């Protein structure tokens, strides 16, 4: 387990979540509905299985089991690591998959993975711009490949390479949000790579300003160590279209495979429904940020 230090981004993010309290509203309440539509596909929950890497360290069939669990839960399944065969196995489960591509220095590989995502019937594709550098400022390396930062012009070429919506992951401020839109982004993930930079903004702190820049032109997702349905509610109430969940599904995936992923997402979605019912937010189009109060 990574050591928690002063300025640790995970600690700051957790503290920000916990500083937000909810105002209860019961009059004129309605039974909550968590269904939503993304890229013309309908899902039962806005709680999504995030793009995880190194899943082979969890269990041999981890990627397909996570996808099966997401299908059972009626959730979107994100995928990052793995080759074309892995992506084929995931999509063959019936999962609606968003393929996130690393920012390889060799742009040819990025274009190849975009084409693979399209050929496999992925829901969308995208790039993780935050995976470029390590904590020392050196280019990140993964599986023998070196990463490199991408310009607006390069991202525009990626976004135009196929008919799939192209998502920019790793946005944590207004400037990158604006540049992502200029590059033709079909979605934005507000997140940071935990532990890479101390004192990074908690994603939920950055979210309102990013939403103002995006102004409904593309869905905005949040990935930030969401631990339960209450965390998910807070992100959604602030305006996120959906949330990506990581740690909360790793252990269930390891122990129970698809059933564990399904149970984890369902439990979080049930808690989300409870928070919605208690605050008068009866569906995802009627979330209300005024129910949130900062300590």
Q: What is the pLDDT of residues 14-32, one digit of tens each?
A: 999 999 999 999 999 999 9
All structural domains of the chain, each given as residue ranges with its CATH number in brackets, are 9-23+31-294 (3.20.20.70)
The alpha-helical segments, DSSP class H, found in 148-294 are 152-159, 174-182, 203-214, 229-237, 247-256, 258-279
In whole angstroms, give the CA distance from residue 227 to residue 74.
19
Catalytic residue of the set 192, 194, 286, 293: 194
What pTM, to 2 d.p., does this model score? 0.94
Q: Is 194 a catalytic residue?
A: yes
Rounded distance, CA 180 to CA 182, Å? 5
The residue behind tokens 């839960």 is: 73
Q: What is the pLDDT of residue 228?
A: 97
User: Residue 3: its pLDDT value, please?
Assistant: 55
Helix ranges, 4-61 (H): 9-18
pLDDT for position 148: 97
Q: What is the pLDDT of residue 93?
A: 95
- On whether the CB atoms of residues 25 and 276 are closer than 8 A, the answer is no
| Spans of the chain below 50 pLDDT | 1-2
Q: How far apart are CA 120 and CA 90, in angstroms?
A: 9
Output Rg (C-alpha) for the chain, integer angstroms: 18
Position 4 scores a pLDDT of 54
Considering the chain, what percentage of its residues have pLDDT values greater than 90?
A: 82
- pLDDT attached to residue 1: 45
């Amino acid at each position: 387990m990574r050591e928690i230090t002063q300025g640790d981004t995970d600690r700051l993010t957790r503290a920000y979540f916990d500083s937000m309290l909810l105002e209860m509203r019961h009059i004129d309440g309605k039974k909550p509905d968590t269904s939503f539509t993304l890229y013309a596909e309908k899902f039962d929950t806005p709680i999504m299985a995030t793009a995880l890497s190194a899943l082979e360290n969890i269990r041999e069939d981890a990627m397909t089991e996570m996808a099966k669990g997401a299908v059972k839960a009626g959730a979107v399944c994100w995928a990052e690591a793995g080759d074309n065969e892995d992506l084929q196995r995931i999509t063959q489960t019936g999962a609606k998959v968003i393929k996130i591509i690393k920012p390889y220095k060799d742009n040819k590989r990025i274009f190849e993975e975009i084409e693979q995502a399209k050929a496999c019937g992925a829901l969308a594709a995208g790039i993780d711009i935050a995976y470029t550098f390590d904590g020392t400022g050196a280019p990140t390396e993964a599986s023998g490949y070196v990463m490199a930062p991408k310009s607006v012009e390069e991202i525009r070429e990626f976004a135009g390479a196929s008919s799939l919506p192209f998502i920019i992951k790793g946005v944590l401020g207004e400037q990158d949000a604006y540049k992502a839109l200029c590059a033709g982004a079909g979605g934005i993930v507000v997140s940071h790579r935990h532990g890479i930079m101390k004192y990074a903004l908690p994603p939920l702190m950055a979210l309102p300003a990013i939403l103002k820049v995006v102004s409904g032109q593309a869905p905005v997702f949040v990935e930030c160590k969401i631990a339960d349905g209450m965390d998910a509610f807070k992100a959604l109430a602030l305006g996120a279209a959906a949330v990506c969940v990581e740690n909360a599904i790793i252990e269930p995936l390891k122990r129970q495979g698809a059933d564990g992923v399904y149970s984890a997402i369902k439990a979080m979605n049930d808690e989300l429904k409870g928070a919605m019912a208690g605050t008068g937010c009866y569906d995802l189009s009627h979330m209300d940020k005024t129910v949130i109060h900062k300590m």
